[in-house]
Amino acid sequence: MITTDFAPGSPCWLDLGAPDVQAAAAFYGAVFGWDYESMGEGEEMEGGMFRKDGKIVAGLGKLTEEGARSAWMIYHTVTDADATTRAVESGGGTVRVAPRDLDDWGRMAQYNDPLGGQFAVWQPGKTKGVELVDEPGSLCWTELYTSDAAAAKEFYGGVFGWQFSDMELPGGGGTYSMITPAGLPEERMHGGVMQLRTEDLRLANGRPYWHPVFAVTDCDAAVARVRDNGGSVQMGPEDAEGVGRLAVCVDAASADFVVLTPAES
């Protein structure tokens, strides 16, 4: 489960880079009931926060990187962004955005893993991260789709100290590796790694990619809202034993995410 105590290595923030901020705000507002709070005016200042029931659940900004696809960026808590950068480079990753301070909110950096998967870190200042998780309309899990799960586990384990536990998917669907922050019990699992064929990673032109999983009270109703508002569904809705009912979706700009109605415990 994801919590807001933000232990080192755990997800703490996510934001969406969208070509049309207002369209993205309208889409996610319709799908999840999020309210968008702009932090600036004018085309170059487009960006802000999503709130659910008054609590921050994600960020939104205008996609400005030439040739980049619209996607969610997931940030993980670290105690020292500069030390993490050295670990990324030592493990064969590359730096997209070097560590930098965002006023007194915190210090951030963004990277590529050795196969090109993008991720980010957050060294907290006065801002620790999102304010609502593991509830309907908020982040409840994260996933990495990659063509080489073993290499991914070696890299991310070296960077974050993550612990991995593997489970075989039913019907010969492969192995799913679940992620737990260093030193914490398996009840604190916050994500998973899934190996796919390179040709199945079309959204990122064959490169690995992370995506968020959002909890919803009714997966089928959420999927209907996705479709009604210009998005589409890559997989599902379907039931996953012990997990819940889920669907892999993409928004109107092709940013991917998952909606999940968790199984009753």
Q: What is the CATH number of domain 11-124?
A: 3.10.180.10
pLDDT digits (tens, 9 = 90+) for 73-127: 999 999 999 999 999 999 999 999 999 999 999 999 999 999 999 999 999 999 9
CB 122 within 8 A of CB 76: yes
Return the minimum-mean-pLDDT range out of 6-10, 97-101, 158-162, 203-207: 203-207
* Side-chain half-sphere exposure of 189, counting CA atoms within 13 A: 14
Alpha helices in the chain (DSSP H): 21-32, 81-90, 149-160, 219-228
Kindly tell me if the per-residue pLDDT of 44 is higher than 80: no
Q: What pTM does this model have?
A: 0.95
Q: What is the CATH number of domain 139-262?
A: 3.10.180.10
- Ranges in the chain annotated CATH 3.10.180.10: 11-124, 139-262
Kindly tell me if the per-residue pLDDT of 183 is higher than 60: yes
What is the percent of the chain where pLDDT is above 90?
84
Say whether 253 sits in a helix, a strand or coil: coil
CB 177 within 8 A of CB 103: no
Concatenated DSSP letters of 39-56: ---SGGG-EEEEEETTEE
